[in-house]
Amino acid sequence: MDYIVRCTHRIWDERDVGLIYTHYTHNCVVYGTMGTVYNREDMVRDTIQRLVSFPERRGMATQVIWGGNEDEGFYTSHLVTGSGRHTQDGHLGPATGRTFVSRTVADCMVHENKIYREWIVADTLAILLQIGADHHAYADRIARGMFERGQLSLDIGENRRMIGQYPPESEPDLSIAGTDLERETLLWMHDVFNRRMFGRLKDVFAPNCQFHGPLMSELYGQAAVIHQTLGLMGSIPDAGFVPQHICSVPSEEGGTKVAVRWILEGHHLGYGILKHLGEPTGQRLQVMGISHLHYKDGKVVDEWRLYDELALMVQVRLGQMQAAR
């Protein structure tokens, strides 16, 4: 979608922040990994703050996967690879002068050329680690601010992956899928994440697949995909997986690209790849994630999987503060 790419470029790279007033509705809701913004003016303020901290940052549009039409509106999933240097004191702390590269995915709902709802997953921890900032202190500061504002960690109880002593549901809800490939994607994701059938990944991914993960990890082959998936579930072993949205488009590179926005909910009960959370704490975690999948000849040849471990660090600290009060 040229509209989304041009809009993002002009706001973030050409510094025309005021385009937010004309490209977003006044009551647009933006869902992030560490909170929700309910009005356009807060979006303008937050954008300025990020531009101040990273004046040299440039965002490259990696791909846009979309669905919809003029009458009902469009849904876009925009993957951006940003790079820059931390040259100014700002919301991430004193300037270190170090360079960074990170990925962000923004999912937007657009009607009559205005964005009215957006979900943003930014790999903030990747930036903090690369610029040499104290990510634990930063997570503590964010959690402390939320705690003092009364934004408490809520444990909503069971995640409904299983009911009582029953096994997980054998079939997922496919109502959000619009094509056979989207239905197949939801089926294998349910098998892997809810039924714990991790071996299904060998059937789905090509032997020479690439995995582009959080913290700018670049991995290769089926074993790497299986390990990254096992590692995520190992940290949250009781997690339930719920897909929120799926769309797909033919790819100029051949095949089809599919975007899935998903939620993983559970408790920090085990060891896995979320090593920055430390020892298992038992705290409630909600992972907002987005996956872009590139299918060729019936197999996934690339996955871009994004979630922000820093947001999970904040959730753990917020839960601990609440328990200690």
Write out the residue limits of the CATH 3.10.450.50 domain(s) in the chain: 2-133, 180-324
What phi, psi does 266 have (nearest 5°)? 180, -150
- State how far the Cα of 120 lies from the Cα of 237, in Å rounded to an integer: 25
Q: Among positive and negative, which fits the CA dihedral 302, 308, 313, 318? A: negative
Calpha distance 306→249 (Å, rounded): 19
CATH architecture of 180-324: Roll (3.10)
pLDDT per residue of the chain (325 residues) written in tens, 0 to 9: 676 888 888 888 888 889 899 899 999 999 999 989 998 999 999 999 888 888 888 999 999 999 999 888 999 999 999 999 999 998 888 999 999 999 999 999 999 999 999 999 999 999 999 999 999 999 999 999 999 999 887 665 566 666 666 677 778 899 999 999 999 999 999 999 999 999 999 999 999 999 999 999 999 999 999 999 999 999 999 999 999 999 999 999 999 999 999 999 999 999 999 999 999 999 999 999 999 999 999 999 999 999 999 999 999 999 999 988 8
State the architecture of 2-133 in CATH terms. Roll (3.10)
